[in-house]
Amino acid sequence: MDKCKIDGCNGLGKKLKSGKRCFTKGLCNNHYNKLLLYGDPLYVPFNKKIPPPEGFTDIKDYEGFYSINEVGAVWSWITGKFRKTSINNSGYKIVTLYLGKSQKVKTYLVHRLVAQTFIPNPDNKPEVNHLSGDKIDNSVENLEWVTTSENHKHAWRVGLKKVTEKYMENARTIASCRKVIISWNRKLSNEVVQEIYRKKGLFTQRYLAKLYNCGRGTIKYIHRKEIYKDVLDLVTA
């Protein structure tokens, strides 16, 4: 590593006899000394921290270090600046936050930070949905907690998920496989199924089940056309 791993730091590492710089644990001299003295390379005396503007709330587990407002802007108390965000491969805004003593940087979805900070979740729903379908609008008014099923249904409704040729090809393949599986699982021949259906009302289901060596439920569902529907649609009374 030829630079300090702390975001935005251009500090120099320890100089070796060869003239090269050594970044112990990936840190410059300044941040490494703070790590040794305070256990945190980003240690800043509280009276030197720069609090955020009005309207910001501390992010859980980052109190006194990072705050966020209702539109998804993230403030760093250490630098006194807004954290830069980027867009991930799925089109959502993300931000990286330093984890202090663990010396790690963790990436978060901005819309989840907003929801966790400002939107109650009494039902403990696992996902956050953008009501307008705009993935980079992370304002509180555009977010809601949802289940995975609710999230998928909303995505279809607002057009985030679309029926493509590849999707249709996959669907046709799945449907074809299901037909094969159904045919494998069928124990009664088409002729027997049609015969059972024609005897509806003439004999009891118990008798027909014993006659054709199958369960009473099978007889009931055949009479209701809930199974073998493709076969029974060919039956003429």
pTM exceeding the 0.95 threshold for the entire prediction: no
pLDDT value at 235 more than 90: no
Question: What pLDDT digit, counting tens, does each position of 172-194 carry?
Answer: 676 666 555 455 457 788 889 99
Lowest model confidence (mean pLDDT) among 31-35, 57-61, 145-149, 174-178 = 174-178
Tell me if 205 sits within 8 A of 220, measured CB to CB.
Answer: yes
pLDDT value at 77 more than 80: yes
Q: Given the structure tokens 């289901």, which residue do they identify?
A: 205
Give the per-residue pLDDT at 171.
Answer: 66
Q: Given the structure tokens 């993230």, which residue do they identify?
A: 74
Q: How far is residue 59 from each of residues 14, 50, 73, 75, 158, measured CA to CA in Å?
A: 34, 15, 11, 10, 30
Give the per-residue pLDDT at 44.
Answer: 66
pLDDT value at 206 more than 70: yes
The Cα 75–Cα 61 span in angstroms is: 14
HEC string of 98-126 equals ECHHHCCEEEEEHHHHHHHHHCCCCCCCC
Helix (DSSP H) and strand (DSSP E) numbers for the chain: 8, 11
Q: Is 77 exposed, middle or buried (0-12, 13-18, 19+ CB in 10 A)?
A: buried
Using DSSP bridges, classify how beta strands 81-82 and 86-87 pair: parallel, antiparallel or unpaired.
Answer: unpaired
The Cα 136–Cα 146 span in angstroms is: 18
* Alpha helix stretches (DSSP H) within 44-189: 110-118, 148-158, 165-185
Give the per-residue pLDDT at 106.
Answer: 87
Question: CB-hemisphere CA count at 13 Å for 236?
Answer: 0
Lowest model confidence (mean pLDDT) among 57-71, 119-133, 220-234 = 220-234
Q: What is the mean pLDDT of the chain?
A: 83
pLDDT category, 104, cuts 50, 70, 90? Answer: low
Directed axis angle between helix 190-198 and helix 216-223, to 10°?
80
Task: Give the pLDDT mean for 97-114.
Answer: 80
Of all residues in the chain, what percent carry a pLDDT higher than 70? 83
